């Protein structure tokens, strides 16, 4: 009888330990995915490189594990935030390292938008196109407008 009671207590402790371990594992949060992904441009970055857009005092920077791009606000000539890549950007005569996708229905639509920045460095036109989910871009838009002293052209899909 005493052995049976010991087995019951042991089984309860084992069950409690398993439940506690499962709770600890479930409580661990996965680190959030970076909100921006390199979609196209003239920069030497790998396709799909995920990173963050940092807005400094004098420049904006896209940083991902495979590289970084620093864009002085004064060098920016145009910015767009759309559900696809505009034909104006697509037709630019620049040296594309990664060409913009032609069928943006696979990448754009309701789930993603494209943030395109056209800027000049050493008298050459450069382009950076990032893919971002709509809700994540909204806080950046007003701050970019202020710091770059230039308005981001936003497609009429959403207000900000």
In degrees and rounded to multiples of 5, residue 23 shows phi and psi of: -65, -40
Pair (86, 145) in one structural domain: yes
Higher pLDDT, 146 or 27: 146
pLDDT at residue 139 is higher than 70: yes
pLDDT at residue 87 is higher than 60: yes
**What's the pLDDT band for 155 if we cut at 50, 70, 90?**
confident
Pair (26, 41) in one structural domain: no
Pair (49, 72) in one structural domain: yes
Pair (131, 148) in one structural domain: yes
In a domain, 12, yes or no: yes
| pLDDT on residue 160 | 42
Centre a 10 Å sphere on the Cβ of residue 38 and count the other Cβ atoms it contains: 24
The C-alpha atoms of residue 138 and residue 140 are separated, in whole angstroms, by 5
Pair (18, 87) in one structural domain: no
Pair (10, 82) in one structural domain: no
Number of structural domains in the chain: 2
CATH code of residue 121: 2.30.29.30
In a domain, 159, yes or no: no
In a domain, 160, yes or no: no
Taking phi over 0 as left and psi of -120 to 50 as alpha, with beta for the rest, 80 belongs to beta
Pair (40, 21) in one structural domain: no
Q: Model confidence over 29-83: pLDDT tens digits?
A: 676 778 899 999 999 999 889 999 999 999 999 999 989 999 999 999 999 999 8
Q: Are 57 and 72 spatial neighbours (Cβ–Cβ below 8 Å)?
A: no
What end-to-end distance do the CA atoms of the chain give, in Å?
A: 72
| pLDDT on residue 17 | 72
Pair (53, 125) in one structural domain: yes
Pair (48, 4) in one structural domain: no
Pair (10, 55) in one structural domain: no
Pair (17, 53) in one structural domain: no
Which residues span the domain enclosing 8? Answer: 1-30
In a domain, 142, yes or no: yes
Q: Model confidence over 90-116: pLDDT tens digits?
A: 999 999 999 987 755 554 455 678 999
Pair (114, 44) in one structural domain: yes
């Amino acid at each position: 009888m005493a052995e049976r009671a010991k087995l019951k207590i042991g089984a309860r402790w084992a069950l409690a330990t398993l439940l506690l371990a499962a709770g600890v594992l479930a409580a661990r949060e996965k680190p959030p995915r970076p909100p921006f992904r390199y979609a196209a441009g003239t920069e030497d970055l790998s396709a799909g490189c995920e990173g963050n857009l940092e807005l400094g005092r004098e420049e904006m920077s896209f940083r991902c594990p495979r590289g970084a791009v620093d864009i002085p606000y004064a060098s920016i000539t145009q910015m767009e935030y759309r559900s696809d890549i505009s034909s104006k950007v697509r037709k630019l005569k620049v040296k594309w390292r990664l060409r913009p996708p032609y069928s943006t229905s696979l990448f754009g639509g309701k789930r993603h938008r494209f943030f395109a920045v056209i800027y000049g460095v050493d008298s050459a036109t450069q382009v950076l196109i990032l893919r971002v989910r709509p809700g994540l871009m909204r806080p950046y838009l007003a701050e970019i407008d202020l710091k770059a002293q230039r308005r981001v052209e936003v497609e009429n899909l959403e207000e900000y």
